[in-house]
Amino acid sequence: MKQAKKDIALSEKDALQDLLDCEKLLMTYYAAALTEGSSTPFRKQILKNYTAHAETQFRVFEQMLDRGYYQVRPAEKMMLDQNAEKFEKVKKQLVS
């Protein structure tokens, strides 16, 4: 039995989540292209595209946040301190 288009439409939340996921994936591809690019014009264009998609991704994220579709949990101070200490140790190892 074939489903009608109205039966398979995405909800607003699902559509925004899909768009957010696509933008994140595009940014991953652009980051890879940027690191692999060997000509200045190519790298400039990729960086321009990356920046544009970063802005779009953030706007979609803000829309999801405003609508209550995306929950952000504030980081606990202890967790921040532990991570800062961990990275400071790595930094010292790299400098040594």
The first and second tokens of residue 87, run together, are 């990275």
pLDDT band at 4 (very low <50, low <70, confident <90, very high): low
Q: Where are the beta strands (DSSP E) in the chain?
A: none
Query: In the chain, what are the helix, strand and coil shares in percent, each to the nearest 5?
Result: 75, 0, 25
What is the residue-averaged pLDDT of the chain?
90
For the chain, the domain total comes to 1
Give residue 85's pLDDT.
Answer: 87
1 pLDDT exceeds 60? no
In a domain, 58, yes or no: yes
Q: Which domain holds residue 69?
A: 9-95
Reduced to 3 states (helix: H, G, I; strand: E, B; else coil), residue 79 is helix
Cβ count within 10 A of residue 9: 9
Tens-digit pLDDT profile for residues 77-88: 888 888 888 888
pLDDT (0 to 100) of residue 36: 95
Instruction: Please state the pTM of the whole predicted model.
Output: 0.69
Q: Which three-class secondary structure state does DSSP give residue 92? A: helix
Angle at 87 (CA atoms; ends 65, 81), nearest 5 degrees:
60
Residue 1 placed within a domain = no
Spatial distance between the Cα atoms of 24 and 22, rounded to a whole number of angstroms: 5
pLDDT 10s digits, 48-65: 999 999 999 999 999 999
Please say if the pLDDT value at position 5 is more than 70: no
